[in-house]
Structure 1
Amino acid sequence: MASSLETTFSREWLRRGALACALWPLSLVFRGLAAVRRGLYAAGVSRAERLPVPVVVVGNIFIGGTGKTPLTIWLVDALRAAGFSPGVVSRGFGSKDAAPRAVTASSTPAEVGDEPVLIAARTGCPVFVGRVRAAAGQALLAAHPEVNVIVTDDGLQHYALARDVEIVLFDGRGVGNGWTLPAGPLREPPSRKRDFTVVNAPELTPALAAAVAPPGATRAPGAPWQMRLAGDVAERLADRAERVPLAELAQRAGLRVAAAAGIGNPARFFGMLRAAGLQPQELPLPDHHDFRDRPFANIEADIILVTEKDAVKCWQIEELRNDPRIWVVPVSASINPALADQIVEKLRGRTPA
């Protein structure tokens, strides 16, 4: 039932159908409450805690996944290349403990969430999770005094943590039908102020750029920047050193390929595989899917391709870890380096968003 409701709303949120129109009055209430809450922090009535180092927030206003984790990894690498020592703070979706705690590549998703584990493994930088992000940031800085900039993975609407740079990420769905919850997919209106706009899409059309850009944005930093996600190899889950190019898999006659994705927008992963020449059987799963329900038990395939985010959870399950069919497709973000230059310039000026 939950899956059916999610499908129904996802479909309605991309158009202004009967259900979306019926919910539109409620969306005005939601939008008003969101504006009041943001205004209270902006006016200083509600207190936002400022950390002693600059804070960059990577988030979205479109509900669900738009590619924040690859963008966070790209940003950490870019900041490190610019001479910073970055750390990452996250809520840690599904984490059992609300208190701040450190994340390592060997942490379990049940303890800290799947995305923080992936970030820690890919970047090697300090990562902390906690329900209160300011407290998580303080704990990170206490444990790693060398850190001089913090990136928050998600948390755009977590105004209790003051920030110096806000990056809003969209994907090819743009702003959907343009309405806020529950009539549309947006947590805040598209006109929301921000420092930088990034669009995760293979092609940034003028129509898409215009839809996601804040009013009056004609050139950087206001105009959207394009982010492309690319992955060209598969790595066996049981031994990530064993790799095979996706193009080679596409040329193997008779090879039965399936693909599973428990991310916010599974179609993005499947589209990347098709672009590599594969025609997999597609298994879209809910974001942060729990793989203990054995979703591959009845899949007839020689190879099952999964995302890195899902691989973090599959590795924790012995049956899946030892399933020779499961291969991981790592992806990396590609963005114009000029965006990193502008973010660094703003950080060095430490101008609040």
Structure 2
Amino acid sequence: MSRLRHILTRAWIRRGLLAWALRPISLCFEGLVTCRLWLYRQGALQPQPLKVPVIVIGNVMVGGVGKTPVVIALVQHLQERGICVGVLSRGYGRVSRDLREVHPTSRAEDAGDEPLLISRACGVPVWVGANRIEAGKSLLEHYPKTQVLVCDDGLQHLPLARDIELCVFDERGIGNGWMLPAGPLREPWPRAANSSIDRFELSSASSPISGRFQILRELADFAVRADGTRRPFPMGFANPVQALAGIAKPQVFFSMLQDLGLTLTHTQAMPDHANLHGVSIDASLGELLCTEKDAVKLWADHPGVWAVPLITTLPAELLEALDACLDRRLSSHHGLKIT
């Protein structure tokens, strides 16, 4: 499976022989998706609104692009403004299938690693469910003072009405511009303009991409263990160390550690959202560093591993534009006021 994924990922960079061979299937898929989008634009299918403004943060590319750190950064920004926020998520990778609230003490296999990370990092109500509408209704029922809902993923979850969309891209941009399986796109991009939705495009690529707000990402200056113990990073760690990452691009995390002067004796690159129960850690190879997303799963069995938070900074001009869009909605048809 990993070899097939690697082959397809390479094919999606350009329109080569494999991409052209898969193009007929891609056109069929594109036709179905386009038809669905058209039905929503024409009003034949109606998205269902919730009682408060909804911000959806998602992507059109297959694979991780770093949406969850953007969710955390945005939620923390709204909290600083005094806005009561709730978060919705599908809870990808969890073994449970029900609708449920996520608590900081929840298990990753029940809640999903990303919703659990958001709950611990932000301390806001987090609800997971395949049906984001029902999840939103349940959250609002239990937390009626919630003023804004942020949906982690769900750009293609069209039944959920949204007020603002943030589409996140990485260094791949839109790849070869074709839809699955000939390309990496989940839907044709760009979408047709919608006057009722404010849309922003963000890029986590190291080089700015025209027309997209640039996200700044860097490792924190501290690492943390399961018991809350903090240690200065990287100067608080003796070289060498080992590292583990179960994210979309593990090598990016490893490279960030090396760029800070750390020597890695051993690295374990795991699939994104991988179940980390039973992972073997050899203490003789040095202390283990991992991402926060890995830590919420590892700490159950290995409370001594160190998580290095990834600090995501959203540009001021994006936050200013987003705040203006949100304030209009908070004070108008949703009938809410910012306290």
**TM-score with structure 1 setting the length:** 0.86
Q: For residue 225 of structure 1, what is the aligned residue in structure 2?
A: 213
Q: 1:21-54 CA deviation, whole Å, 9 max, x = no partner?
A: 2112211222221111122122222231100100
| Inter-CA distance 269–161: structure 2 relative to 1 (3 Å threshold) | same
| Inter-CA distance 173–55: structure 2 relative to 1 (3 Å threshold) | same
How many correspondences in the alignment? Answer: 325
Q: For residue 168 of structure 2, what is the aligned residue in structure 1?
A: 169
C-alpha distance in structure 2 between counterparts of 1:45 and 1:299, whole Å: 60
Preserved contact between residue 96 and residue 109 of structure 2 (Cα < 8 Å): no
C-alpha distance in structure 2 between counterparts of 1:15 and 1:257, whole Å: 38
C-alpha distance in structure 2 between counterparts of 1:264 and 1:28, whole Å: 27
Cα shift at 1:279: 4.2
C-alpha distance in structure 1 between counterparts of 2:225 and 2:253, whole Å: 17
**TM-score with structure 2 setting the length:** 0.89
* Within-5 A mapping of 1:53-202: 53-193=52-192, 195-202=199-206
Cα shift at 1:247: 4.5
Paired letter, 1:337: A
Cα shift at 1:171: 1.2
| Inter-CA distance 234–79: structure 2 relative to 1 (3 Å threshold) | closer
- Structure 1 residue corresponding to 2:325, chosen from 346, 349, 352: 346
Preserved contact between residue 240 and residue 262 of structure 2 (Cα < 8 Å): no
SS in 2 for 1:140: helix
Preserved contact between residue 56 and residue 151 of structure 1 (Cα < 8 Å): yes
* TM-align CA RMSD: 2.1
SS in 2 for 1:79: helix
| Inter-CA distance 300–8: structure 2 relative to 1 (3 Å threshold) | farther
Q: For residue 10 of structure 1, what is the aligned residue in structure 2?
A: 9
Paired letter, 2:242: A
Preserved contact between residue 13 and residue 175 of structure 2 (Cα < 8 Å): yes
Gaps of 5+ in 2: 193-197, 334-339
Q: 1:169-220 CA deviation, whole Å, 9 max, x = no partner?
A: 011222222221111111123322571001113332xxxx14xxxxxxxxxx
C-alpha distance in structure 2 between counterparts of 1:10 and 1:148, whole Å: 40
C-alpha distance in structure 1 between counterparts of 2:275 and 2:96, whole Å: 18
Paired letter, 1:246: P
Aligned-pair identity (%):
41
Q: Confirm or deny that 1:245 pairs with 2:233.
A: yes
SS in 2 for 1:25: helix
| Inter-CA distance 178–195: structure 2 relative to 1 (3 Å threshold) | same
Gaps of 5+ in 1: 211-222
Q: For residue 235 of structure 1, what is the aligned residue in structure 2?
A: 223
Q: For residue 285 of structure 1, what is the aligned residue in structure 2?
A: 270
| Inter-CA distance 266–126: structure 2 relative to 1 (3 Å threshold) | same
| Inter-CA distance 282–14: structure 2 relative to 1 (3 Å threshold) | farther
Cα shift at 1:166: 0.6
| Inter-CA distance 190–327: structure 2 relative to 1 (3 Å threshold) | same
C-alpha distance in structure 2 between counterparts of 1:44 and 1:233, whole Å: 50
